[in-house]
Structure 1
Amino acid sequence: MDTQAQQTKGDANQHLKLAIAMAILKYKRLQKPNDGDPQLPCNNASESDVIKWKQKAKERKAEILRLKEDLRLAEDGIQYDVFPQSASCKCYFFDTFGELSPKLSDDGSESNQWRFKDVLRRRFLRQVRLCERKRKRLGGLTEQTCISDYASENELEQLRASIDFLVELCETVSPLRVEESNFKNWSHEAVEFILDTLNTLSSMGMEEVAIERNISSLIMRLVRRMCNTPEDESHHSTNNVQFYVQHLLRKLGSKAYVGQRVILSVSQRISITAESLLFMDPFDDAFPKMHNCMYIMIQLIEFLVSEYLLTWSKSEAFDLKLLEEWTTSLCHARKALELLESRNALYILYMDRIIGDLSRQLGQVSFIQKLKPDILAKLFS
């Protein structure tokens, strides 16, 4: 009996040993790495997977944030520069801000004038398109269509969109509400694009009435912005904006088609302002603003006459009738300012300087004999 019990106990021990051996073999087989797997312990492999997925999660989160930022900039691109700063405008556009610039090349442009490249052209059109989209969202249907591809769009439509962009930039955005560098870049690109589009339209033989309607609207709106200042702007900000707009008109006036119309519009406004000042109380709050506006307008005409008149006269498309019209208007403006001589003699002094410069430059051109005798009498009397 004892022998049978011992035999039974021995068989149980053998089965136990066999079970333990099989368990150990199975454990080792599970622990043994497959061919090509890194020789890492089980815990290290798990930690590596955790780190890898955490890194992927961080990258995905950063990508989502970047896409959200791109979407925000695309939806409200008028106040932001969606292109890298490496494409910013590095030029001499505002170097002659408020100063006479006698150093001109034969074509009437400044000797160091920077011509914008295709990247800035595309950048400007992108900004105009974003502005058009925002206007469409805020105001519903608009008369203007968005620019999608400047190479295939109608040139006149591009001119309208560029004019609207430049005017709205001056009317709704001041250097205090937007970065000054962006204000300068956008306004420069707008001026260059408008002038370039005018040249293209001229070469295409576009209808003169359509072009003049858009250019007259541009001049009227910019002159109004230069003279009328919102009440919420500080005195320092107001002067800055006025001189910025004056400079834009000055640069647009490098083309005779625009420059002569600017002089005509501004000289007519000088006559109206002089009449208003004549009957205005000097202690009125609006008097200083009108006084500053008068100087800015007179200075703008001086810039245009001294810098561009001889260049305009060399162009085959120079309009003599328009020259006679704004010359007559300038003489009327001087006569209107004579009534203010007792209040401020500087008005007459500056106007005499402009008319003297105009007479001197017209004396150098060959078509002077074609002008009306009464205009010549007023200039050279």
Structure 2
Amino acid sequence: MDQRQPTAEIFEDTVAMAVRAPSVHNTQPWRWRLSDRSVDLFADPARRLPSTDPTGRALLLSCGAALHHLRVALAVHGWSAAVEYLPDPADQDHLARITVGAESPARDDIDLGAAIVHRKSDRRRYCHRRVPYNRLRQVAEHAVPFGAVARVVPPPLRTPLGHTTRAAAGRHAHDRAYLEELAKWSGRHGTADGVPAANTPRPRPGDDISQRAFVEPELADTSFEIDGSEWLVIGTAEDDCCSELRAGEAASALLLTATSLGMASCLQTEPLGIAELRSAIRTDVLHDCAHPQAMIRLGFMPASVAPLPPTPRRPVHEVIDTAVRAESALPGGHPSSNRARQERRRSYA
């Protein structure tokens, strides 16, 4: 039996890779606690977005994506990861406990680990080159190990999906609280979180499926080609907190796989934060067979387009708790968000 134990430096290195995961408005709503052979993942409710993400679903998806990034990072360093989801019923923000063991990395682990460094949320227009169906299927299959499905949106269903994205944009354009929240977290310059102005292009009203508009976009988007984007909708059989967390893992697996195959990608959630629009996507796109949790846009960038600038991340020491805390919620947490998650968890128990 291999008696090696991961060092604090390895834990910190893997957390540094984990926090490269995408998160809603780049809020990075997670905290990590390290011990001898395990890592604990906590939500940071002080970074929840009440107007953008009223139920906390996008926060859990974000944390799930970081959890999968951590598992990949551990594998690259030669460690397996056994995950216990929602290990403490008394602490709604304690999302996962990851126990590690020695294990040699597989080739897929190395490929996904390399993709962590290169993946960025690219909201620009993709080129006319279509993604071959076998590659779409290869990407979509990576949702299955996490109890999720990834439905490729066929041409006939792009119209109803586009209707929901435009409806969400229209509502948010007149929602003062949403706009104030958006202004707080986007159009950033030189910060360690939030959406940088340099990484966001101007909205394209002519797109059949629109993307979230951010404040003061500065990213040049000069391609005049027909956009060959493909869309996938990630769904789960259940709609509880664990399902949302695992859907985030599935989203991370899809994004990293797409990156390893040379594709650009972007995670989308805007219409899923509005209950009736989410219900419409469930019916129109998933035929009431699954609960939609996230959307992913995939495609190829034109060869002439410059790479995106790095998206900022907070320093690792700011997201790692080195001391064990006795309290059941993080300081600065929102009791209302905890109650909402408790109600949802009871609803699907």
TM-score (norm 2): 0.26
Which has more strand, going by share of residues? 2
Q: Which entry has the higher C-alpha Rg, 1 or 2?
A: 1
TM-score (norm 1): 0.24
